[in-house]
Structure 1
Amino acid sequence: MKVKIGFLAVLVVVAMASCGCVNESKPPALTLASFTTDQDLYHSKDPMVVTVTLNATGDMQDVYLNISGIINERGKIMVYNETVTNLTAGVNRIIFKERMPSCNRCSKLSEGTYYLNLTVVYQNTTLINATTPGASIPVELRQ
């Protein structure tokens, strides 16, 4: 009798799985709503606030974000900031505060238009890669 009950239980589980009655846990989805700077034009050493707005379909723990950009003539990244944060279902706003680099001969950074990149990683998977021109106005440095 025990064997028949065990066999019946297995059949019920298989039937439920095949009809979609058993929920497989999917990780929450994450989309980029905006990636913006607080100004369109910056001067050397100006403060800069970068706002990232993400929409999550569920709670997400230990989400890694970084912004980087403004690369000088030597190939050095002049703006780099990273954080690990927890997101809740719905709209999440992450704010990065930076100071613009000096624009001079010593820093090998000329006046011009520069871009910021955003990377969002969750559970060792890159979910979002974005660059400011697609989301906002590029950062411009002027002396």
Structure 2
Amino acid sequence: MSFELHTDFKSLPKLLETSNSVFLMHNKSPFYWVIQIPKAENLKDIYELEIGHYQKVMEEAYMLQGALMIEYKADKLNFAALGNMTPQLHLHHVVRFKDDEAWPKPIWGNFKELEYSVEEQFQRQSKLQALLHRIFA
């Protein structure tokens, strides 16, 4: 069986793919928001990963979070693996600022989705892609 993204993720821009994970961008969020999807079939929760794969995925998450905090000079980085709506294991990495619209609350249910212009989305995506390529290249 080969790895395949859940249909909920197929419309999101791909930032990078490693041997362990696929990294996507939430493209309607006011936040810089990366979704990391470990390459594993039919898993819903992080504990279901084989331990070696888990360690590699968490190493990627660690590297990504540090880079996001430095790049965006963030006040906080939210990290979660919910999966209540999309039943494929995935990890959210969300850059937060004390002046963002949801602060200090969790982002879920506390922000309005945005429709970025093609140019705005390209700029946001390009910046995140460049960052991921620097840390995972």
TM more than 0.5:
no
Q: Which structure has the greater CA radius of gyration? A: 1
TM-score, scaled to structure 2:
0.29
More strand by share: 1
More helix by share: 2
